[in-house]
Structure formats: C-alpha cells, structure tokens
C-alpha cells in the first residue's frame, strides 16, 4: 500500500534522515564552509580520489567530535597568524594560549588519522 506523505511531514522526514546520515552529529556544530575547506585541503594533500574524500570527511567528523568549534577556530587562527613575519608574530607561535590551542588540534588530528586513514 502506498501512503501519501503530506508536506507537513516533510521536515520531520528530512530531520530523521539527517540524524541517521550523521548519527554522532560530529561536524554539525562546525559551519559548512569550515568543513568543506578542511576536506578540500585534506584532499589536496592526500589525493583527489574517492578514498581521500571519504577519509578526509571522516577526519573532520572525528576532529569535530573531539574539539568544539571555538577551540578549532582558535587553533586555526593561531596557526595562520604564526605564519606572519615580524616581532609580534612570536606571540602567535610561542605564547601559552597558542601552544595549548595547537596541542589540542594536533591531538584531535592524530586521533582522526588513526581512525580514518
């Protein structure tokens, strides 16, 4: 028997489908542009293959399950600012907050490497 599903049920069905597609909700707190940026960068490093896409997608999901977005964003900011030159850029490489943020991200990435690659 075919049953008609009205439009009022559509949001509930889509929400249910998304919950099953990403059961842990891993990267759901990360903005889409951040997830895509990570996956594209990862694929440039690991090859432009379907396998790399799957591994890189898995990797950002694992990182997101370990590291809240605010911590990820902080670590990425310190990382990009540490690449600048000049006296003041040392603050972004050598300060306690920079080291803590970097250590947290490195640990999350190491766990992601173990699980996904």
Give residues with Cβ within 8 angstroms of 107, minimum separation 6: 66
Q: What is the pLDDT along the chain (117 residues), one digit of tens a residue?
A: 444 444 444 333 333 333 444 444 456 799 999 999 999 999 999 999 999 999 999 999 999 999 999 999 999 999 998 888 887 777 787 888 889 999 999 999 999 999 999
13, 76, 84 from 56: Cα distances, Å: 28, 17, 27
Residue 40 to residue 49: CA distance in whole angstroms: 11
Rounded alpha-carbon distances, angstroms, from residue 112 to 13, 16, 34, 56, 62: 31, 26, 16, 9, 5
């Amino acid at each position: 028997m075919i049953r008609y599903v009205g439009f009022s049920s559509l949001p509930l069905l889509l929400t249910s489908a998304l919950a099953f597609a990403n059961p842990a909700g891993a990267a759901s707190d990360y903005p889409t542009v951040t997830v895509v940026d990570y996956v594209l960068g990862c694929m440039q490093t690991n090859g432009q293959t379907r396998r790399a896409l799957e591994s890189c997608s898995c990797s950002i999901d694992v990182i997101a399950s370990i590291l809240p977005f605010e911590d990820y964003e902080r670590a990425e900011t310190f990382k990009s600012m540490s690449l600048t030159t000049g006296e003041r850029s040392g603050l972004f490489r050598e300060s306690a907050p920079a080291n803590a943020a970097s250590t947290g991200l490195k640990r999350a990435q190491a766990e992601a490497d173990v699980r996904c690659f």
